[in-house]
Structure 1
Amino acid sequence: MATSRVRLLAALAAAGSLAAAAVAQNAQAPESLLPPGFGEPVAPPPAQAPSNQTVQPLPQAPLDLPAPEASPSPTPTPTPPSAAELAKYEMPLFARRSLSIVGPIGQPEGGVAPNAFGDADGGYLQGLMRRLSAPLPSRWLSIALRRALMSRIDTPAGLNGADFAAERAWLLLRMGESVAARSVIESVDTMNATPKYEQVAMQAMLANGDPGGLCTLAEAPQDRARGWVLARAMCASLGNEEGAGRALIDAARRQRVASGIDLALARKVVGAGLGSRQAVTIEWDPVVQLTTWRFGLATATGVAVPTELYETVGPQVTGWRALAPAIPIADRAAAAETAAAMGVLSSAALVDLYAALDAGEDTPAALGAIASDLRSAYVGADIATRLGALRQLWDGVETPQARYARYILTARAAARIRPVDGREEANRIVASMLSAGLDRTAQRWRGQVDEGSDAWAMLELSDPDARTRLGYGAVGKYAGSGNATLKRQLFFAGLAGLGRLSPQEVESGAESLDVPIGVQNSWTRALDRAVRDRQPATVLLLSGIGMQADSWRAIPPAALYRIVAALRAVGLDGEARMIAVEALTRV
């Protein structure tokens, strides 16, 4: 390994590591996996709710693959199969997983309790998941929601366990969490697959660039949608059935199952198998729309997707790109920074990416410069060099999201700066540390920053050991750089939600700052009910519903108050504090 990468990773090890933080189209229900151009339609596609994140179809005939209805709710444990049915399965009875509790992670791995949805109705939860527009503007709410969706959790009443897993995976895909979505899908035994599960499973595997992941479902005997016809051909080739994949692809072409680049990409996968004896050239010139099928198969076969096609899809695909190991690391760097701001990548993962670029021999000059600055920020010869490198990284981007991503990238380098050395950059140093959740490290700056500054306000909100209430005068002291009025409102909302103000001061502050925290509507009533019933996972879903906005500037301070207070009430104190701080950092 190159010396530069060793030095950078050694610095990271000394600083500690952050737990890894961490879509598909934003529609009401899973859509057809395959792109337009797969034969002629039998019926027009189902109408979808309008959304600026939905991948728009090509002006060609789409597949007639409507979203399936939910399967009937099964008994908590599948009925024991007959001897004849047992012969079809290789998995012994003791190894089969129940549908009554589904998910890849438990509480020790960062998940929520199995009963985190309480006795909430399955249809109600399914409706919340389908209506939630993703990605969310909050990195920290996205991280918390991802952990809840991945948790080993009880299947709610009224839902089939496989369908419940599919709904969770579908939301994770829309959040950009392709790896998490696949993990949820793989926590269900394929013998329990339902139509909805199969449809989302194909989405998840394609989002990961993993057509081989389809093979456990591709050989099911029942009639299949056209995507599975091609999957069967690809899996025959990947399974080293010499010549079988090519024969199935030829049959699919004659039956007009697929055409154009969609068929060519499937042939490309088949060409990777044993005895295919064919080379396929992919031509992107006629293509004007990227789809999950095209992204997944191109990624799997090492075919670069033109940059302009990424502009035809929603932001969730940015998360897929950042997590796809088959895409060259230099091509993933920009997507990785955006994905970190979304909550898909952790600070440590982002630093690892640039450390690898720093060690590479053919790294583009612009990326090499960023990697070099990052190395200097960690292990510069003196404090002036390290601070200069931090400023260069922070000032080298223009958009608010890009700046927040750079805070995440430099979090542990910022943590190595002493308050006595970095007072001039206190606001950005504290913001950087807290973007990665380094709350206790950031508290070293307490008493070392100017009262009323952004750093002071963020330290007040993030203090994990705060036990005393502040007076309303503290809110008045906050100057708030930039949009001062909105920041003061958000600071008040955060303090009130965290219980740092007395009820009387909350009431007077809400009136003087025009933050209507007492307004009641269907969302606030649902949130209050989930808090009263002690349902942290439901609270997270409803918090996401309350953040249906393109940016933090569009989120009302009263909504922030409700979200922070609800999270704190169900035991998610750390998440509540980080979301309150994030509000000040990103407006």
Structure 2
Amino acid sequence: MSKRRFRLKISRTSVALGAIAVALTAAGIPAVGQDVPESLLPPGFNEPATPAPTPAPTSSPTRRAPTPVPSPVATPAPAATPESGATPEPTPTPTPTQSVEEMMKYELPPSAKRSLERVGFAAPRQLGFTANGYGGSDGQLLEALMRRVDAPLPSRWLSIGLRRALTASMTTPPRVNGADFAAERAWLLLRMGEANAARGVVQSVDVDNYTPKLFQIAMQASLATGDPAGMCPLVAPAQQVSSETSWTLAAAMCAALGGEPKKAGDMIDAARRKSVAHGIDIGLAEKVVGRGSQGRRDVSIEWDGVGHLTAWRYGLAIATGVDIPRDLIDNAGPQVRYWRALSPYLAPSVRLPDAESAAAQGVFSSAALVDLYGQIDAEADDAAAQIATARDLRSAYTEPAAADRIAMLRRLWSEPSTRRGRFARTVLTAEAAERIAPNKANAQAADDLIASMLTAGLDIAASRWAPVVERGSQGWALLALSDPEGVAMLRGSDVRAYRDNGAAADRRKAQMFLAGLAGLGRVRSEDVADLAKDLDVQIGMSNAWTQAIDKAGQRREGATVMLLAAIGMQTSDWRGVPPEALFHIVSALRAAGLEGYARMIAAEAVARV
């Protein structure tokens, strides 16, 4: 059975997105309203430089496309303290920031130096992008856009695409320093819960070229991954350009980790005398020092009176094996749960609830979630409910009869009590669903099996169900959007057949179906206007955002399109995404040569709305 995921069409990008700088600066950047999650990070770190736009109502199925809001204007951030989480909001740089190259001697030979003209760690072509994914777009404007993204996004596939765009090794756009631009990319990844990806981005820049902004975000990445040792190469140069007291405590921890326990102890004592930090913040730092000193200065950590979780507290607690009260985790931003899902320091049974949430978001892959359940099944000493689910999952792969495997899949899908939990289970079962033979005997499960396969991009396997599904069914609609080879051009009657199939679709789904088909160019152009009128989808609506994303697509600037798509999808749930926004996102991705992502996002919209 083929395990190929959707195929990505790759194109070159060569033309600047000058219209963004004109249209968005003048008219603002429209965005669908989203409730901003409570931040794990220190005050100011996870807040836009200007107040967030007023959320637009989401109750009406005929909601119009986003309207423009004022462009963000950055303001300086206050100095950080360890009690506030160790890092302020990174300050935007209107001009390239001077590096620390003059302050420290480079340890690598000149041939090993990496240029700031291209930053990132992933190969862009393997992800469907080009190295010039931002084209000639104004770098300062792109930074402002990144700051406007309220994560998490409602779409799993858009989140995956945006992560890949942010991590890919791409040419630095004009008017920004490469290190500062890397910091903005990593900061957005951290807010998305992508701790490992954020660390990879900051580490793609030589320390010699770090700017104050990148030092800030590098510390956050180390904390998000529970790796205080990651700060050690940065301590000396960071202290030359930053007065943040968190680096003082980092210096003490690194001295201990470097085999200098007495020096580390003296530094912690001096920090306590000078009131550099108080309470649990300095206590956790001393805990790290104790670990580096073979326990000679180990301390007990008490969470009594701690009202909120910060990146500092999270990272040092994870690094030292200190249990964090669940109420602090639940009251933090969702990114902390994704960070925990990725943490190798936690037991599989501890990671699992957060891993399922991370899988629904796209931070965790289907294969990784299956592996986690496999560990739980093998260890057989975890919670009974987790073991039972792990064994049901094994049965969904191994039962000899397809009917029995389908029964196990249905049990797995129906167990969670929330929509998000049920969607996470469809991600979990993607490859098990792929193993079900597409025939009439299994046709009653086709809709759910196809939806599950598409969460993991198994579009080729899903397309084999085309002869089985009935016209107008949910599975038929998903294949019409996701088929990698394309389908015969649909007519208006096909869309109406789906709309009128009450058992599988409703008006809202029909709106998203039309928007996805029109964006992919899979419905006859002469039928689009009538269908849009019938379903009240204002495909032709134009504003600064639609103009910017359309032109970015035409200029084949894939990374810019992904970023603008995130701006147009600022809502906590797919039901809050207007069909007009979906149309422009899908259309621009397709124009930019990213049809694979466009198909997956369009199918996801219909499956989840």
TM-score (norm 2): 0.85
Greater relative contact order structure (CA < 8 Å, 6+ sep): 2
1:496/1:561 contact within 8 Å kept: yes
> Out of 426, 436, 442, which is 1:407 matched to?
426
Give, in whole Å, the separation in 2 of the partners of 1:354 and 1:540: 32
Runs of 4+ in 1 over 6 A off after TM superposition: 25-28, 32-35, 45-48, 60-64
Q: 1:17 to 1:234 in 2, by over 3 A?
A: farther
> Out of 461, 485, 509, which is 1:487 matched to?
509
Within a 5 Å distance, the mapping from 1:306-385 to structure 2 comes to: 306-385=325-404
C-alpha RMSD of matched pairs (Å): 2.8
Which residue in 1 is equivalent to 2:520?
A: 498
> What secondary structure sits across from 1:422 in the alignment?
helix
Within a 5 Å distance, the mapping from 1:4-403 to structure 2 comes to: 16=3, 49=51, 65=88, 67-70=90-93, 72-73=95-96, 88-110=105-127, 112-220=129-237, 221-222=239-240, 223-274=242-293, 277-403=296-422
> Out of 409, 414, 424, which is 2:444 matched to?
424
Give, in whole Å, the separation in 2 of the partners of 1:337 and 1:61: 30
Give, in whole Å, the separation in 1 of the partners of 2:312 and 2:608: 34
Which residue in 2 is equivalent to 1:539?
A: 561
Which residue in 2 is equivalent to 1:5?
A: none
1:144/1:540 contact within 8 Å kept: yes
Give, in whole Å, the separation in 1 of the partners of 2:85 and 2:463: 56
Q: 1:231 to 1:457 in 2, by over 3 A?
A: same
Q: What number of residue pairs does the alignment pair up?
A: 549
Give, in whole Å, the separation in 2 of the partners of 1:264 and 1:183: 29
Ranges in structure 1 where 5+ consecutive residues have no aligned partner: 1-13, 20-24, 36-44
Q: Which amino acid aligns with 1:140?
A: W
Ranges in structure 2 where 5+ consecutive residues have no aligned partner: 7-35, 56-79
After superposition, what is the alpha-carbon deviation per residue over 1:420-443, rounded to whole angstroms, capped at 9, x for unaligned? 342221111111111111101011
> What secondary structure sits across from 1:219 in the alignment?
helix
Which residue in 2 is equivalent to 1:449?
A: 469
> What secondary structure sits across from 1:133 in the alignment?
coil
Which residue in 1 is equivalent to 2:546?
A: 524
Give, in whole Å, the separation in 2 of the partners of 1:335 and 1:52: 30
Aligned-pair distance for 1:242?
Answer: 3.0
2:288/2:316 contact within 8 Å kept: yes
Aligned-pair distance for 1:512?
Answer: 1.1
Which residue in 2 is equivalent to 1:433?
A: 453
Identity across the alignment (%)? 49
Aligned-pair distance for 1:186?
Answer: 0.2
After superposition, what is the alpha-carbon deviation per residue over 1:166-209, rounded to whole angstroms, capped at 9, x for unaligned? 00000111111110000000000111111100111111110110
Give, in whole Å, the separation in 1 of the partners of 2:325 and 2:542: 48
After superposition, what is the alpha-carbon deviation per residue over 1:88-138, rounded to whole angstroms, capped at 9, x for unaligned? 332111111111111101134426211111100111101110111111100
Give, in whole Å, the separation in 1 of the partners of 2:591 and 2:48: 41
1:111/1:151 contact within 8 Å kept: no
Give, in whole Å, the separation in 1 of the partners of 2:49 and 2:548: 28
1:165/1:197 contact within 8 Å kept: yes
Aligned-pair distance for 1:66?
Answer: 6.0
After superposition, what is the alpha-carbon deviation per residue over 1:282-316, rounded to whole angstroms, capped at 9, x for unaligned? 11122121111111011111111111111221111
Aligned-pair distance for 1:400?
Answer: 1.4
> What secondary structure sits across from 1:285 in the alignment?
coil
Q: 1:46 to 1:161 in 2, by over 3 A?
A: closer
Give, in whole Å, the separation in 1 of the partners of 2:544 and 2:52: 23
Q: Which amino acid aligns with 1:146?
A: R
Give, in whole Å, the separation in 1 of the partners of 2:599 and 2:225: 32
Deviates more, 1:115-124 or 1:310-319: 310-319
> What secondary structure sits across from 1:243 in the alignment?
helix
